[in-house]
Amino acid sequence: MAQFVKKDDDRDEEAEYSPFLGIEKGAVLQDARVFNDPQLDSRRCSQVITKLLYLLNQGETFTKVEATEVFFAVTKLFQSKDIGLRRMVYLIIKELSPSSDEVIIVTSSLMKDMNSKTDVYRANAIRVLCRITDGTLLTQIERYLKQAIVDKNPVVASAALVSGIHLLQTNPEIVKRWSNEVQEAVQSRAALVQFHALALLHQIRQNDRLAVSKLVTSLTRGTVRSPLAQCLLIRYASQVIRESSMNNQSGDRPFYDYLEGCLRHKAEMVIFEAARAITELNGVTSRELTPAITVLQLFLSSSKPVLRFAAVRTLNKVAMTHPMAVTNCNIDMESLISDQNRSIATLAITSLLKTGNESGVDRLMKQITNFMSDIADEFKIVVVDAIRSLCLKFPLKYRSLMNFLSNILREEGGFEYKKAIVDSIVILIRDIPDAKESGLLHLCEFIEDCEFTYLSTQILHFLGVEGPKTSDPSKYIRYIYNRVILENATVRASAVSTLAKFGAMVDSLKPRIFILLRRCLYDNDDEVRDRATLYLNTLGGDGSVVETEKDVKDFLFGSLDIPLVNLETSLKNYEPTEEHFDISSVPKEVKSQPLAEKKSAGKKPTALGAPPAAPTSTVDAYEKLLSSIPEFSTFGQLFKSSAPVELTEAETEYAVNVVKHIFDKHVVFQYNCTNTIPEQLLENVVVVVDASEAEEFAEVATKPLKALPYDTPGQTFVAFEKPEGVPAVGRFSNVLKFIVKEVDPSTGEAEEDGVEDEYQLEDSEIVAADYMLKVGVSNFRNAWESLGPDFERIDEYGLGPRESLSEAVNAVVNLLGMQPCEGTEVVAANSRSHSCLLSGVYIGNVKVLVRLSFGVDSSKEVAMKLAVRSEDESVSDAIHEIVAN
């Protein structure tokens, strides 16, 4: 009701305006009684409906009772022959969205209208009926709808087709039966009928790639009248291109000529759709791009903002992958920097930043500085990101770019914006050594007056890492200690840590740092005091200048190589006993959640032997499960559990998968079995494993499964002994043995006697990757440096002809079973070389880092250079052996 009160306030102003002034729901509902008059005043009825619609439109809601009352009253209006009133009736029925028992009241009226001679009635009745109907009613009216699709009146046909598109979501099986009629409508001479028919036909067939391909082939040759339909066709054609290019790598693109032809269409929307489709083609060549870029360039100088926006947005995307192709447009782009529409200006600037050359940077920066003050934060972030990548591209220009960043850092801005700037400066400091000192000072100045606790702590931490390594670390101390005096507890605590880091790393500063830390012992916050006490004691705060021991440094400032989630769960599970909590018992496995989800989604639910537990808890669950089995409890700490590997085809009688659990001296196979036959009960289920092809393994225990009823997953285990710490590999053949008993499906009772039977499973394997834990590192370069070159092993390998570079990278990553770092597992399309960083922990808790460099030649021969660093010479060699084999 708020707006009505408000309207009263400025009555003077609005009195002459609104016919709805002072409107009230109660009064309008009273008015709705005129619908029941025996002599209908259609004009008056229309006005009341308009008022009701106005109320609904303003966000007013009707109670269930009110809505029902209005609905029933409205149904009376079907008696009137007034077309205008009828249209309002249709409208309000759609707005009221009646419940299914109410729908029945209007069904017959609407069905009558559907078969009326008046086209307007037919079209609208179809739309209303399809909107409010449910599946059962739909079968009754299906016949009429099929007729309507091929109706000679285009409005009626469109109404039926559009309703079909909506109904396909809820009743696909019914709508799919209409495809003959829809196919006929695709050939319609009416432009929009063709558009709607094409949309529906494609949705009906979208899962049938061949049919879609045929549809596109036939239509691209024929004539498509409506620009909208043409846009659809372009989308479908690019879908076909995308799917077919996966099959044939080399051949020419099937529908490229069609797309290029559309660039000369007379409708701008078609031209743009085609140009955009071309720029988004997988691995598009610059020859293919050129005509699309040319038309987009023309759009850039259009008088219509929408055209300019569309063109510059698309070119901006192209600039990320093919900067050279866009350089031709640079002159047009530069004129857009002063565009009235700020979105266009921002997109133009960022495109220029991506495509510009080194000499133009300074000029461009000057233009941007003027422009930054009057755009919104979200655009500023886009600009900052673009500047960061520019700086990495032209490291020599760091001075002007760093200046720009520090200037905008001082100006007003929200958290996200400031964070983007700080992140950019941090990245520049890391990657451009020359920029370090000036960058750190800019950050120091920023935290002197920073309202965001998060950013202050981030910067303090970063100062602690980088500051001590600079030529004059003492100059940062003042900034840091100021935080201890001026800021809130969170920032104070991290400032204390940073001070301590300087103290530990720079011996000459130690006495002074200790004085400052001692002052923090009187802080009124627990955390700050605790930190200060800890650092003073561990760093030897008795005032003498002593060399801090390496262990202490590692303890205080070493990186925690355990995922925090895992530590959290372990701490929660820990019960206070005599035994102290052991941090080495925390599993180090990084769970790649999205991957696991994808895998399980692809499988049939019944084929999943193990209950599909949430990936975050699987390792803990396995650990609990295994330690609860007495035979395996002596095996010690679980090193790694593999993902389930299917040993049966999907949809066979018995679904079995295996999880490999690796211990120091043992390997346990956990077979997850599911019985998919309702008429059977399996008893004494075991897997008989033949390890003759795995010489180093000796079977030590099996744990059979007593009973396996229908559709209830169960587990059986087999354990092997293997030489301690040795990454033994081998192949195991598996046979499922059991006693099968018939079950009466009606009673669920099993027969007394069973028959022994067996079922051949696929082989399982222990491979080298099973001994590798995926453990990521946050900063690969630091980790690499800190491991040192002592146990570095470098060698080169030829991988032979491969389908693509990314396929080769994936193969090696999977072979090693290591965690790709910093997103390096992604290979840019069309690149000829790639480097990939991997990290992991090898059995025996040995940290391993790998640098892979790949190159591919024109005949798709892939060569690889493999550099391994680890804490143990033999492990470095072992990694090379894995690849060599």
Partner 1 sequence: MESCPSVKNILLLDSEGNRVAVKYYSDDWPTNSSKEAFEKSVFTKTQKTNARTEAEIAMFENNIVIYKFAQDLHFFVTGGDDENELIISTVLQGFFDAVGLLLRGNVDKKEALENLDLILLCLDEIVDGGIILETDANVIAGKVASHSVDSGAPLSEQTISQALATAREHLTRSLLNV
Name the residue nearer to partner 1 (CB basis): 120 or 863: 120
* Stretch near partner 1 under the rule CB under 8 A, chosen from 297-305, 609-617, 700-708, 868-876: 297-305
Comparing CB distances to partner 1, the nearer of 18 and 573 is: 18
Residue 357 touching partner 1 (CB under 8 A): no
236 or 635: whose CB is closer to partner 1?
236
Rounded distance, CA 490 to CA 274, Å? 54
By CB under 8 A, residue 20 contacts partner 1:
yes
Contact with partner 1 (CB under 8 A) among 15, 83, 396, 560: 83
Segment holding 718, helix H or strand E: strand 714-721
- Residue 23 touches partner 1, criterion: CB under 8 A: no
| Window contacting partner 1 (CB under 8 A); options: 253-261, 338-346, 443-451, 469-477 | 338-346
How far, in Å, CA of 715 to CA of 709, rounded?
12
**Can you list the alpha helix ranges (DSSP code H) found in 133-267?**
135-149, 154-170, 172-175, 179-186, 191-205, 209-221, 227-245, 256-262
847 - beta bridge partners?
A: 841
Q: Mask: binding to partner 1, 197-236, rule CB under 8 A, as x and -?
A: --x--xx--x---------------------x--xx--xx
Stretch that binds partner 1, among 195-203, 704-712, 771-779, 826-834 (CB under 8 A): 195-203
Q: Using the 8-state DSSP alphabet, how is residue 696 labeled?
A: T
Q: Would you count residue 127 as binding partner 1 (CB under 8 A)?
A: yes
Q: Strand 793-801 relative to strand 861-870: parallel, antiparallel, unpaired?
A: antiparallel
* Position 223, amino acid: T
* Three-class SS state of 130: helix
Rank residues 10 and 575 by Cβ distance to partner 1 and give the closer one. 10
Closer to partner 1 by CB, 306 or 829: give it: 306
Q: Is 239 in the site for partner 1 (CB under 8 A)?
A: yes
CB of 47 vs partner 1, minimal distance in Å: 8
Q: How far apart are CA 197 and CA 228, in angstroms?
A: 12
Contact between 145 and partner 1 by CB under 8 A: the answer reads no
Nearest approach in angstroms of CB 19 to partner 1 is 5
Token pair belonging to 437: 């000192």
Cα 446 to Cα 415: distance, rounded to the nearest angstrom: 13
User: Tokens 């909506």 map to which residue?
Assistant: 166
> Is residue 79 involved in binding partner 1 (CB under 8 A)?
no
Site for partner 1 in 94-123 (CB under 8 A): 94, 120
Taking the complex as a whole, how short is the minimal distance between the CB of residue 21 and partner 1, in angstroms? 9
Taking the CA atoms of residue 197, residue 200, residue 205 and residue 211 in that order, the dihedral angle to the nearest 10 degrees is: 20
The residues in 374-393 that bind partner 1, with binding defined as CB under 8 A, are: 376
Compute how many residues bind partner 1; rule: CB under 8 A: 68
H or E stretch at 641: strand 640-641
Stretch of residues binding partner 1 (CB under 8 A), selected from 46-54, 631-639, 802-810, 842-850: 46-54
Question: Any contact of residue 238 with partner 1 (CB under 8 A)?
Answer: yes
Q: How far apart are CA 233 and CA 392, in angstroms?
A: 41
Q: How many helices (H) and strands (E) does the chain have?
A: 39, 17
Q: Residue 801: name the closest of 862, 854, 858, 855 by CA.
A: 862
Out of 107, 217, 244, 341, the only residue in the binding site for partner 1 (CB under 8 A) is 341
**Among 38, 59, 251, 576, which residue sits at the site for partner 1 (rule: CB under 8 A)?**
59
| Residue 41 in the binding site for partner 1 (CB under 8 A) | no
Q: Which of 73, 165, 427, 567 binds partner 1 (CB under 8 A)?
A: 165
Q: What gap in Å lies between CA 378 and CA 413, rounded to an integer?
A: 10
Residue 249 touches partner 1, criterion: CB under 8 A: no
Cα atoms in the 13 Å half-sphere on the side-chain side of 398: 19
> Contacting partner 1 (CB under 8 A), which of 32, 110, 162, 182?
162
Dihedral (CA of 119, 124, 125, 130) sign: positive
Q: How many residues does the chain have?
A: 885
Q: How far is the CB of 734 from partner 1 (least distance, A)?
A: 43
Selected binder of partner 1 within 144, 178, 272, 417 (CB under 8 A): 272
Burial 465-486 (b: 16+ CB within 10 A, else e): ebbbebeebeebbebbbebbee
Question: Which residue, 53 or 489, has its beta carbon nearer to partner 1?
Answer: 53
Residue 331 in contact with partner 1, rule: CB under 8 A? no
Task: Please list the helix, strand and coil fractions of the chain in percent, rounded to the nearest 5, in that order.
Answer: 60, 15, 30
Q: Does 16 bind partner 1 (CB under 8 A)?
A: yes
User: Does the protein bind partner 1 through residue 854 (CB under 8 A)?
Assistant: no
**Measured CA distances, 649 to 55, 516, 645, 731, 799 (Å):** 60, 68, 11, 19, 31
Between residues 319 and 878, which has the closer beta carbon with respect to partner 1?
319
Compute CA 58 distance to the chain's CA centroid, rounded to the nearest angstrom: 37
**Contact residue for partner 1 among 28, 46, 421, 457 (CB under 8 A):** 46
Interacting residues toward partner 1 by CB under 8 A: 3, 16-20, 42-43, 46, 49-50, 53-54, 57-59, 61, 82-88, 91, 94, 120, 127, 131, 155, 158-159, 162-163, 165-166, 192, 195-196, 199, 202-203, 206, 228, 231-232, 235-236, 238-239, 268-269, 272-273, 276, 280, 303-307, 309-310, 313, 340-341, 343, 376
